[in-house]
Chain A
């Protein structure tokens, strides 16, 4: 009964968030456009040296995806906090951590997932071979939820602060480094014949650890922000 209650809370939060996003489409489209434009600037500025483009492609796509995720991070809890929805959620009998999970899932569905799906298309500009493109998309698919989970901790800690947006970046970017290293490393490892399995496994492990701890940390930070 208790579990089913938590699950239904997650479902309703995701449902509500997606509905809200449909009403304000620009919020969801901005990070995607940022991703498309910035990655396209590299081939234009660096030139058409195929070897060079191939070498920088995983890094460029990953760093841009990471920045695009961070672009909308301050908004994760801000509006709910300002209009009082967050305190109503905190006072609901459903566990607040379930609500947090729902918010992060919805956030990933609206930013991380589209980014990972767009990446293969953008990778074509960098002359990446098909296998590398597939590996890149896989790592983004596993890595972007980790970014969202870690980001939610930063967003909740800076809730209600002035200049919270910049602070989120300072808090969260160092924590993104391991994800970035193993995400970009996968493509190189595969190209050099080592295989990408180790990197993908490590990313998956990070996802599991973040998925377990991040909602707890976020919930605690939200409760403090609501005091």
Chain B
């Protein structure tokens, strides 16, 4: 079992993701430079957070054109698990692998804090076994995490079970006050129709061991490992 951690110019959560996978979970992980055009031999892909290309034009707008994104597209089409975290989520949106777009936070402030998430579906490889309604404590750190999609897209996401996480209060209530950035319908993470591509603004790799204030992030990577273990070869 081998995981790829993509590295673009300006990625800065790549080492955190690598550490969580390799030393926290104990799965094999490799950095993959964005100029590479193949993901052969990998079982899962992590697109980490950061500020690829300095967020020029729009977050993720340049990174979507890197050669490795063609490989990610093929990997995703083949059903392979892909998780985009923070800037990785923004890249997946820009690449059209997930619907919608990011606006600047409605507060116009960079938000860096622990938030609570309410799990919406266990159908993704990263939430396998995390029942709907489960509350996770995971940090966010972003300026452009205000998820936007038109009403029709939002309703379609809900109907098809593609809303994976919503911002909530510690008791699991999805409230306006618990929404850190103004995201439509408190959306913190969504998946594609197939369920194998997940994008989320919060950072599970930053909270995969108790010493970091929460180990809830580890559950996503544990789920991924379990999912890969069950997957027919």
Tell me if chain B binds chain A: no
